[in-house]
Amino acid sequence: MLEAIVFILGLLIGSFLNVCIYRIPRGESIVFPASHCPACRKPVRPYDNIPLLGFLLLRGRCRLCRAPISWRYPLVELLHGLGYLFILHQFGYSVQALVYALLFSSLVVVTFIDLSHQIVPDVITLPGMVLGLIAASTVLPPGPINSLIGLFLGGGLFYLVAVLSIAVLKKEGMGGGDIKLIAMIGAFLGWKGMLLTIFLAALAGSIIGLFLVFIRGRNRAEPIPFGPFLALGAMVSLFWGAEILNWYLLLGRS
Ligand SMILES: [Zn+2]
């Protein structure tokens, strides 16, 4: 029963995050005006705005102008609802779970904005760094020192990559948004979780990158946004980081 409530809460917040994903990169207010169809600008009726069900009942089209509604809307809602369920399962009813839910929501917004606009918005990452530091100093396991190291080491490493790729490769290899994003992740997870995040993100990014180049024939020069991989790496690191590190250390000893 309580799981169902958390899942529905995740769906509802996911529906609000869709608004953020659409409006933040366009510089629009996230509270006003109420949801409207991007094609005909008409307001969405409350019963059509119900997460998942609205999309299914409308069969993916606007009620008024029949313009297709992006698959991103139900996908974000479902992903977000399932994410909340999983955080509850891993961390129970705790303050940690609440903070991690907030981190997860921020990373979902970052992921989908980066996928469609190739930017990681400061309005998420800058307050995220502050919140990460405060949370890690009070209720999260890393503690203040570890969190500070995570923030500055993560940001510093990516800054170095950015400077080096401009100096050596004469092209931008790392955006400013990614620098702030890894700093924020470092603040929440501490330096070990942050390094594991980079490792997992680079691994997943390489696999997907090769897949896109060889299978889909994507142009190699076309950049692939790195934010979604960092978000994925951070979540895997949060949920299974201890197991992965233990397994890695055992390998080193044998
Ligand atoms: Zn419409």
CA proximity to 194, closest of 205, 183, 178, 179: 183
- Examine the pLDDT at 220 and tell me if it is beyond 70: no
pLDDT mean across residues, the chain: 92
> What local confidence, expressed as pLDDT, does residue 58 receive?
93
Cα of 65 vs centre of ligand 1, distance in Å, is 4
CA distance 28 to 31: 9
Cα of 21 vs centre of ligand 1, distance in Å, is 18
Stretch 221-236: mean pLDDT: 90
Cα of 36 vs centre of ligand 1, distance in Å, is 8
To the question of pTM greater than 0.85 for the whole model, the response is yes
Cα of 54 vs centre of ligand 1, distance in Å, is 14
Q: What is the pLDDT of residues 176-190, one digit of tens each?
A: 999 999 999 999 999
Stretch 212-216: mean pLDDT: 80
Cα of 77 vs centre of ligand 1, distance in Å, is 20
Q: What is the pLDDT of residues 51-105, one digit of tens each?
A: 999 999 999 999 999 999 999 999 999 999 999 999 999 999 999 999 999 999 9
CA distance 174 to 164: 10
By the CB criterion, residues less than 5 angstroms from ion ligand 1 are 37, 39-40, 62, 64-65, 67
Q: Quick check: 143 and 137 in contact, CB under 8 A? A: yes
Cα of 117 vs centre of ligand 1, distance in Å, is 22
Cα of 193 vs centre of ligand 1, distance in Å, is 44
Q: Quick check: 76 and 21 in contact, CB under 8 A? A: yes
Q: What is the pLDDT of residues 110-133, one digit of tens each?
A: 999 999 999 999 999 999 999 999
Cα of 9 vs centre of ligand 1, distance in Å, is 26
> What local confidence, expressed as pLDDT, does residue 237 receive?
97
